[in-house]
Structure 1
Amino acid sequence: MLPLLCTLCPFVAVVSDLSAHERIRRRGALLSAVRDFLRGGGYMEVETPVRVRAPCPEEHIDAVRCEGGWLRTSPELHMKRMLCAGAERIYAAGPCFRRGEHGRLHREEYTMLEWYRVGAGCRDMIGETRRLVEACAGALGVPAPRPWSEWSVAEAFRRHAGWDPVAAFEPDRFDFDLTDRVEPAIKKHGGAVLLYGYPAGRAALARLDPGPPRVAERWELYIEGLEIANAYSELTDPVEQRGRFEACNADRARRGRDVYPVDEAFLEAMEAGLPECAGIALGIDRLLMALTGAQRIDDVLPFPEGQGRGCGMKSVQD
């Protein structure tokens, strides 16, 4: 009877398979550890809309269309509106979506954790992020990543790509060499590597260090070669933010990508006052992969077959 039920009902197949049950258990343990850690640090859990009218424009991220708007690629803009309304320490964990992403390390739907703290800069969040990762490793009963290293973008590119993108930024060359040369070196190094000091041309929603040189107050965390988290000292100037949105949309138009409406509600909230703050976006699926040694994102999903399929996805590298 059980094989027949498994054929007719995929959920029965999932919960009856021991390896799948272990995936469910591990995800539950990691998510519980995340919530316990952040609550212990005074953070409040919040929710934001999954369907949005204006996704945050980014050069290489495409949103999934749905009736009346798009599925969120991140809860970031709504969470910052909460900071403008007086929240000081908040986090959210839930599904986000990126159109066209499918491969060994990607799914169109993925689980994102983001947290924001008023009065902090991105470097203030490094120790907290490390302790969070260690708490998750402890909950899973696996070793925490070692060693923890910090690499500047300028030095990493000089050493592994032969040029300095902070001194002279070339966007396409930067993207290619990051993927083809720097990230393989990070993977070979092993452990946890924090890459910091991004060129101003890759600031996204981060503020710029007053310099010189003018670099983004931004870092990314890699664990065992997997990109796990992205942290900013958040830009608080609404005029500069509007300009970045418009420049990004112009670049997207040149590349033949969708152009998104500017989120006027977010910019109005910024005009009312976004406090100095820092924020981090962390991929739950990727973190679980890195800590457990999984080679494919399917290995950490409770429903690896069919998640995101049939949505017009294209294959991406890894």
Structure 2
Amino acid sequence: MMKKTWKPSASIKDLVQRAKIIENIRLFFKKNKILEVETPILSQFTTTDANLTPFSTSYYSPYNDNNSIKKKLWLSTSPEYHMKRLLAAQSGSIYQICHSFRNKEFGRYHNPEFTMLEWYQIDCKMKVFMKEVDRFFQKILNFNKSDQISYQEIFIKYLNIDPLSANSIDILKIFKLLDLEHLISDEIDKNKLIETLFTVKIQPFLGEKNPLFVYHFPAEQASLAFVNENDSRVTERFEIFFKGIELGNGFYELTDYSEHKKRFKKDNKNRFKENLSPRKIDNYFLNAIRYGLPSCSGIAIGLDRIIMIALKKKSIDQVISFSFNRS
């Protein structure tokens, strides 16, 4: 009997629905006068983030007969850096729907090659942008109005601990109480302990009825978000969840050149601690920041995940043409 693994992992009926959802997304941005852009998938630089593992490839010049000279290139883990270069060049508010690539990611909500929606809104601070993102989800997925809670408040609600003021000893007690000691690594890192608690004991319960924004993530998890002006322990970063699934990760974007450089160097120090090779810092991106990134907020949304929810599917495999194991 011939195997049917040649067939798409999603039904043609669902792929038609997927196309309609993407069409509605483009219509949403068109009505709001937000420019659609395209940026490279292949890049000379990649992320310094130790939590992301990119794919690499080699470019050989057509003028090099013996292929002895090659250039290492990276598949994009996100269009963020290129899009911010466009913002610095005064593109105005922009969005992009594109394929992104992340190694070591596969499962119900992950595929090594996936579709990302990335959106940047000029002159828009975090709380205002959260309202815009909420409006997007109401329009595209017919979601109810979302709820909001701070990272600090959600820890107090579920685990009765303040992640901003607690020390490592306090957090380790929570691990012992919840029988999670097997998840503790040899090197005690307070931030990693907090992230583990959030992922295992809080995230699965978020957005059970309505979508939920969790905002003001700790400064140690800032990525490229502004540090809050009133409380340096937290950043202007948010994530949105529905039925325990993370749908998007957003920032009021960092615009300071020196701080960007400092964070990239810190990333490489963290890579060294984890026995990972350092990564070249993207100087094209840094030069754009030095020239002037306008005040803006941005979000990266997992498009396959929101289509999965819209079509009431259990896995993103069911809404993409060919999943990794059929590619």
TM-score with structure 1 setting the length: 0.86
Shift of 1:147: 5.5
* In 2, Cα distance between equivalents of 1:231 and 1:204: 10
1:133-148 superposed matches below 5 A: 133-137=137-141, 144-146=142-144, 148=146
Q: 1:315: which partner in 2?
A: none
1:53-202 superposed matches below 5 A: 53-67=44-58, 68-137=72-141, 144-146=142-144, 148-168=146-166, 170-186=190-206, 189-202=208-221
* In 1, Cα distance between equivalents of 2:254 and 2:290: 12
Query: 1:125–1:278: 8 Å Cα contact kept in structure 2?
Result: yes
Query: 2:138–2:144: 8 Å Cα contact kept in structure 1?
Result: no
Shift of 1:305: 5.8
Shift of 1:243: 0.6
Shift of 1:304: 2.8
Shift of 1:223: 1.5
* In 2, Cα distance between equivalents of 1:215 and 1:280: 18
* In 2, Cα distance between equivalents of 1:78 and 1:305: 26
Shift of 1:161: 2.6
Query: 1:206–1:235: 8 Å Cα contact kept in structure 2?
Result: yes
| RMSD of equivalent CA atoms | 2.1
Render the CA deviation track for 1:135-163: whole Å, top value 9, x for unaligned: 222xxxxxx23362111100111222332
Q: 1:168 to 1:105 in 2, by over 3 A?
A: same
* In 1, Cα distance between equivalents of 2:232 and 2:323: 45
Q: 2:228: which partner in 1?
A: 209
**What is the letter of the counterpart of residue 289 of structure 1?**
M
Structure 2 residues without counterparts, runs of 5 or longer: 59-71, 168-189
Query: 1:97–1:108: 8 Å Cα contact kept in structure 2?
Result: yes
**What is the letter of the counterpart of residue 213 of structure 2?**
L
Shift of 1:56: 2.3
Decide which of 285, 295, 302 is 1:276's aligned counterpart.
295
**What is the letter of the counterpart of residue 234 of structure 1?**
E
Shift of 1:249: 1.5
Q: Sequence identity of aligned pairs in percent? A: 30
* Range with greater deviation from structure 2 (262-271 or 249-258): 249-258
**What is the letter of the counterpart of residue 274 of structure 1?**
L
1:300-315 superposed matches below 5 A: 300-304=319-323, 306=325
* Range with greater deviation from structure 2 (245-254 or 207-216): 207-216
Query: 2:217–2:238: 8 Å Cα contact kept in structure 1?
Result: yes
1:24 is the counterpart of 2:28 = no
Q: 1:44: which partner in 2?
A: 35
**What is the letter of the counterpart of residue 111 of structure 1?**
T
Which entry has the higher C-alpha Rg, 1 or 2?
2
**What is the letter of the counterpart of residue 166 of structure 1?**
L
* Range with greater deviation from structure 2 (220-229 or 293-302): 293-302
Shift of 1:307: 5.1
* In 2, Cα distance between equivalents of 1:154 and 1:161: 11
Residue 235 of structure 2 aligns to a residue whose secondary structure is strand
* In 1, Cα distance between equivalents of 2:236 and 2:326: 35
Give the paired residue count. 292
Render the CA deviation track for 1:72-115: whole Å, top value 9, x for unaligned: 11000111111111111111111001111111111101100111
Residue 301 of structure 2 aligns to a residue whose secondary structure is strand
Structure 1 residues without counterparts, runs of 5 or longer: 138-143, 309-318
**What is the letter of the counterpart of residue 294 of structure 1?**
K
1:297 is the counterpart of 2:316 = yes
Residue 138 of structure 2 aligns to a residue whose secondary structure is helix
* In 2, Cα distance between equivalents of 1:202 and 1:52: 25
Q: 1:312: which partner in 2?
A: none
Q: 1:311: which partner in 2?
A: none
